[in-house]
């Protein structure tokens, strides 16, 4: 079989990603405040296996070993998130020095290991106190976020060169406030819209704050974005495509890139949800300028496309819905999401030609497959390995098309707490034994180590 070698640019950033609630544990240690995910998990019925992130991967206590693991993999960068209630237990006011010290040591440890830290300020664990005061529905939460960005910036800004403000505002807004499968478990679309606006606004306000406290650092945001793919029996009409694209992608991209909220969606929202004519009154003068603040990069989280078969879904003409339907001829992950590597190329090309971000990082990409260690102790996760390889090949094709792609972060460094799925889904390139906290490099991790060392991907044709 001929082997094709896909070389990446010399300065390409190879990384892996995690988030605080999914790995840290120590939910009530070291002065940390309660987060909405603590509350959500401690409320029976919300998590598939009844579990929580109380202990998770115990990274709060094992961060040194975890950095050693990253070093073993040769990672050039590590994307993690800061737990807001660990830094500021109430969300504002008095900072928690012990919590800040944890991230201070983590960043020093990473730099000593030659690994670039990419902290994300918000990966969904809002301080419960702020939720009690209305959460992201309230503009005051965006103001508190700026205070938090300042605290994080003053603590780490002298060493951190890359900041991500928010992880997946779509998920914060829609999973948390429309669908209700994520904390805080609200199910109300108009609320979700206000939340999306306040999250974007908080991003816009936090960027200058981070620039002040961390001069010269790159600042960006990570969005969950989906290419729309016609199903084989597709008769989906153009308006349906536009609606879904608006719901997942344009509602976030357009304001961030200075175009304001898409007019077609504003009209739809007002009509479909019978909002008063001033239904989007949470948008105040000056907000759109704030949201459109120039950033240094766009973070792209890509997992799967959305398959369009809207004719099958009653009511889908008026209400956006998530379609994850099995379709013959495609591979599916354990989470029933479609494996569609070329979607990544399509998405990156589209972002490049339509929104022109100066730089992009793939801030998350991965598949859930629950392969366990065999008797020889190895974890042969061939499907994950092939997923990563094919997606990197797609990213390479985008690079060849001229897309300014600067790096790739595999989700996740290790198996961890997968939100409402609890521990039923394994996304890591490193296997986590939750009883002993032993970590084992899966075959995909060993493969990724070689990719990083050689700065290229081998494809057997
Ligand atoms: C993304 C999240 C991340 C993880 C992966 C599987 O949407 O950002 O925390 O849960 O999905």
**Residue 369 Cα to ligand 1 middle (Å):** 14
Task: Find, among 66, 21, 15, 125, the residue nearest to 432 by Cα.
Answer: 66
**Residue 307 Cα to ligand 1 middle (Å):** 19
Task: Find, among 16, 43, 128, 139, the residue nearest to 83 by Cα.
Answer: 128
Atom of ligand 1 nearest to the CA of 19: 9
Task: Find, among 302, 405, 404, 402, the residue nearest to 344 by Cα.
Answer: 302
**Residue 276 Cα to ligand 1 middle (Å):** 34
Please give the DSSP secondary-structure letter assigned to residue 198. Answer: H
- Whether 460 is catalytic: no
pLDDT at site 318:
44
Instruction: From 124, 179, 410, 411, give the residue whose CB has the most ligand 1 atoms within 8 Å, as the site to mutate.
Output: 411
| Residues sharing a CB contact under 8 Å with residue 274, sequence separation 6 or more, in sequence order | none
Q: Which residue's CA is the closest to the ligand 1 atom numbered 9?
A: 19
| Residues sharing a CB contact under 8 Å with residue 205, sequence separation 6 or more, in sequence order | 142, 143, 145, 146, 290
| Residues sharing a CB contact under 8 Å with residue 250, sequence separation 6 or more, in sequence order | 262, 265
pLDDT at site 319:
43
Atom of ligand 1 nearest to the CA of 222: 8
pLDDT at site 239:
66
pLDDT at site 322:
44
* pLDDT tens for the chain, residues 1 to 461: 789 999 999 999 999 999 999 999 999 999 999 999 999 999 999 999 999 999 999 999 999 999 999 999 999 999 999 999 999 999 999 999 999 999 999 999 999 999 999 999 999 999 999 999 999 999 999 999 999 999 999 999 999 999 999 999 999 999 999 999 999 999 998 899 999 999 999 999 999 999 999 999 999 999 999 998 766 555 555 666 777 888 899 999 999 999 999 998 888 777 766 676 667 889 999 999 999 999 999 999 999 988 765 554 445 444 444 455 566 778 889 988 889 999 999 999 999 999 999 999 999 999 999 999 999 999 999 999 999 999 999 999 999 999 999 999 999 999 999 999 999 999 999 999 999 999 999 999 999 999 999 999 999 87
pLDDT at site 330:
82
pLDDT at site 312:
47
Q: Would you give the distance in Å from CA 380 to the centre of its chain?
A: 26
Q: How far apart are CA 174 and CA 180, in angstroms?
A: 8
Question: Cβ atoms within 10 A of the Cβ of 314, count?
Answer: 8
E strand or H helix that includes residue 459: strand 456-460
Q: Which residue's CA is the closest to the ligand 1 atom numbered 4?
A: 418
Do residues 169 and 162 make contact, with C-beta atoms less than 8 angstroms apart? Answer: no
Q: Taking every pair of C-alpha atoms in the chain, what is the biggest distance, in angstroms?
A: 65
> Which is the catalytic residue, given 24, 34, 116, 168?
168
**Residue 71 Cα to ligand 1 middle (Å):** 23
Atom of ligand 1 nearest to the CA of 368: 6
Q: How far apart are CA 149 and CA 207, in angstroms?
A: 9
**Residue 418 Cα to ligand 1 middle (Å):** 7
- Whether 364 is catalytic: yes
User: Which residues does ligand 1 sit against, CB inside 6 Å?
Assistant: 19, 22, 167-168, 171, 224, 301, 364, 411, 418-419, 427
- For the purposes of burial, counting CB atoms within 10 Å of the CB of 9, is it exposed (0-12), middle (13-18) or buried (19 or more)? exposed
pLDDT at site 237:
57
**Residue 405 Cα to ligand 1 middle (Å):** 21
Helix extents (H) in 220-341: 238-245, 251-256, 263-272, 287-291
pLDDT at site 430:
98
Phi, psi of 108 (to 5 degrees): -60, -45
> Which is the catalytic residue, given 209, 213, 218, 364?
364
Question: Cβ atoms within 10 A of the Cβ of 263, count?
Answer: 10
């Amino acid at each position: 079989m001929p082997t094709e070698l896909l070389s990446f640019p010399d300065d390409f950033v190879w990384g892996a990603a995690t988030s605080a609630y999914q790995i840290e544990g120590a939910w009530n240690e070291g002065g940390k405040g309660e987060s909405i995910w603590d509350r959500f998990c401690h409320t029976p019925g919300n998590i598939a296996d009844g579990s929580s992130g109380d202990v998770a991967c115990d990274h709060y206590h094992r961060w040194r070993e975890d950095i050693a693991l990253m070093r073993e993999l040769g990672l050039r960068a590590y994307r993690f998130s800061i737990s807001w209630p660990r830094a500021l237990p109430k969300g504002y006011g008095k900072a928690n020095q012990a919590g800040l010290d944890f991230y201070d040591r983590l960043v020093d440890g990473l730099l000593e290991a030659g690994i670039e830290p990419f902290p994300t300020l918000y990966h969904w664990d809002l301080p419960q106190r702020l939720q009690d005061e209305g959460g992201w529905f309230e503009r005051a939460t965006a103001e508190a976020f700026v205070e938090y960005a300042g605290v994080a910036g003053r603590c780490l800004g002298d060493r951190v060169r890359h900041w991500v403000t928010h992880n997946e505002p779509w998920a914060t807004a829609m999973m948390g406030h429309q669908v209700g499968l994520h904390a805080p478990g609200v199910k109300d679309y108009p609320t979700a819209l206000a939340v999306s606006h306040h999250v974007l606004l908080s991003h816009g306000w936090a960027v200058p704050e981070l620039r002040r406290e961390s001069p010269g650092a790159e600042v960006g945001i990570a969005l969950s974005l989906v290419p729309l793919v016609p199903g084989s029996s597709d008769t989906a009409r153009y308006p349906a495509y536009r609606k879904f694209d608006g719901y997942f992608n344009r509602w976030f991209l357009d304001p961030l890139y200075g175009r304001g909220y898409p007019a077609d969606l504003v009209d739809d929202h007002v009509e479909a949800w019978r909002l008063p004519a001033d239904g989007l009154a949470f948008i105040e003068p000056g907000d759109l300028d704030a949201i459109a603040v120039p950033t240094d990069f766009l973070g792209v989280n890509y997992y799967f496309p959305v398959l369009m078969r809207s004719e099958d879904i009653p009511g889908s003409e008026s209400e956006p819905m998530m379609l994850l339907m099995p379709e013959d001829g495609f591979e599916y992950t354990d989470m029933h999401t479609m494996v569609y590597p070329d979607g990544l190329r399509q998405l990156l090309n589209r972002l490049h030609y339509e929104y022109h971000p100066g730089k992009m990082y793939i801030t998350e990409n991965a598949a859930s497959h629950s392969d366990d260690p065999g008797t020889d102790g190895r974890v042969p996760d061939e499907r994950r390995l092939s997923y990563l390889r094919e997606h990197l090949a797609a990213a390479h094709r985008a690079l060849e098309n001229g897309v300014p792609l600067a790096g790739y972060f595999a989700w996740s460094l290790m198996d961890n707490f997968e939100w409402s799925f609890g521990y039923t889904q394994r996304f890591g390139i490193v296997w986590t034994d939750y009883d002993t906290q032993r970590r084992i490099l899966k075959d995909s991790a060993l493969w990724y180590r070689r990719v990083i060392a050689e700065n290229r991907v081998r494809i057997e044709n």
